[in-house]
Structure 1
Amino acid sequence: MQTLTFTRKEMAELLLSINKQSARSPLSIIQETWRSHIQREKDQGISMSAFVSTALPPVMERMIKSDMNPALSLHDIVSLGSQIEYTHFSATSVQNWVKRDFKDFIGLAEEGKKYSLQQASLFFIIEDLRSALDYEAIRKLFEIVFPVTGTDGRHPQLLCPLNFYAAYAELFEELDGHYRAYEGERNDLISKWDQMIGKLTGEFVAGLPGFAEEQRDALQNALHVALISVHTSCFHSLARRYLNGMVFMNTLK
């Protein structure tokens, strides 16, 4: 049975909808994602029976059936995160993040062991960043973008976790079109991507009101890192796919 796969932008739109930051309902976003999924499968020549058997996790079924409380269990977060393309969520890793690696940034669960959408977004951000950074580097980035002040709460953040996730998810979708049209000073692949990401993130932060120049620079660099990390995650996933195929074919000999 297939599972419905979300792009990061689609997942961000879903979280924003649950958080009442979007005029669209969670149901409409899931329906649109489903339609896009079906169209992609049709383009690849996959039969209609595969569409019918596409499964939704229970947390998404709850979103469809009723207004969902904007709080999620760890199981819900892992279930949602596993629906995002090119991710490899592990329940054990997520529990370690809560208990040890990122407990100061994630904070405590609410009553009933539920986590807010801001906390859920942090899990998704960590999953992306760990493709390119070790945990110590991620914590340093979080100290700048999502600073913590002990048990009394947080200092003003550059962006809240959900909006930060939504920002780089949106920018990631824009990169493909920009890459085709971009004319930079250098033509090698890495430099071209780096220049293009710098231009795109610079334009994004320039449009945000109320930021000092130092804050804009920090946010632009954080988004730059996030976008590179997402691309790294995609390449890691592709490498694993080819390796798994190679190992499988070798066992048939």
Structure 2
Amino acid sequence: MMRTFILTRKNMADLLLSLSGINSRSPIKVLQDAWMNLHKENDLPPIIQKILKLAKGETGFSLNEIVSLGNLIEFTNFPQSTVQNWVKRDVKGLIGSPQLGKKYTIEQAAMLFIVEDLKATLDFESIRKILVLVFNNIEDRTDDIVNPTDLYLAYASVFDQIHHQSLPTMKSSASGSVNELIDQFIHQECITMLSSLNGIKEENLKIVLNVLIISVLTVQAGFYQAATKKYVTDALS
């Protein structure tokens, strides 16, 4: 029986950073940590087997490969035709042309994953305005307030705490509904994540914080949408 491999957003962010040589863990170690029962590379999805063969510094993705990777991420629906429309029209100015010959960079892949998350609640015009705040000239990674992959990891880490870890008890002074407490937790954790993003000037901290909070909330909304669809399917089956 074919095994189903799903990655959390944090798993995917760690994998992207490992492929770029930034993460101290090797790509296969990231995957072994994500999939505890992984014993051999032949058990992995074809797209993962393919990228593991790439040498550091040579990692580029075709659009098809980005779609294949994106569809490994939990609570994500990444139709290829949709993504093709994005890069040709809807977010062409955000993603830009392939920067490694005919292939997209790791940062461009991260940008597409971010766009997919933001689409849960935002229209493309809002997405463009929000992302330009932190990435400025999309063709020039040197003027980013924060690297796309780092931003992806930051909000993925907060979402991971909500959905895959035991949440710490809220401060005794905290009060309100469950939704209000989750909102407070997201705000607090996003503030904490700012300290992991190096080189951000003080005047840009509020911008990055707001984008982090927006990103986590949209992923949370996407989770509720996926959960709703599952219950609808169960009800009608």
Q: Equivalent residue for 1:119?
A: 108
Given the superposition, is the C-alpha separation of residues 178 and 115 from structure 1 closer, same or farther in structure 2, using an over 3 Å criterion? same
Residue type at the aligned position of 1:204 = M
Shift of 1:190: 2.0
Q: Distance in 1 between matches of 2:200 and 2:64?
A: 36
5+ long unaligned stretches in structure 1: 40-50, 249-253
Asked if the contact 2:146/2:200 (under 8 Å) is kept, the reply is: no
Alignment length, in residue pairs? 232
Task: Select which of 51, 55, 67 maps to 2:55.
Answer: 67
Given the superposition, is the C-alpha separation of residues 206 and 10 from structure 1 closer, same or farther in structure 2, using an over 3 Å criterion? closer
Given the superposition, is the C-alpha separation of residues 66 and 219 from structure 1 closer, same or farther in structure 2, using an over 3 Å criterion? closer
Shift of 1:222: 0.4
Q: TM-score, normalised by structure 2?
A: 0.88
Shift of 1:165: 0.3
Q: Percent identity?
A: 34
With 186-195 and 71-80 compared, the bigger mean Cα shift is at 186-195
Q: Equivalent residue for 2:145?
A: 158
2:9 is aligned with 1:4? no
Asked if the contact 1:70/1:116 (under 8 Å) is kept, the reply is: yes
2:77 is aligned with 1:77? no
Asked if the contact 2:15/2:30 (under 8 Å) is kept, the reply is: yes
CA deviation profile, 1:103-146 (whole Å, cap 9, x unmatched): 11101013542000000000100111111211111111112011
Q: Equivalent residue for 2:21?
A: 20
Asked if the contact 2:61/2:106 (under 8 Å) is kept, the reply is: yes
Residue type at the aligned position of 1:231 = Q
SS in 2 for 1:131: coil
With 4-13 and 190-199 compared, the bigger mean Cα shift is at 190-199
Higher relative helix content = 1
2:76 is aligned with 1:87? yes
Task: Select which of 139, 161, 170 maps to 1:182.
Answer: 170
5+ long unaligned stretches in structure 2: none
Q: TM-score, normalised by structure 1?
A: 0.83
Shift of 1:174: 2.7
CA RMSD of aligned residues (A): 2.5
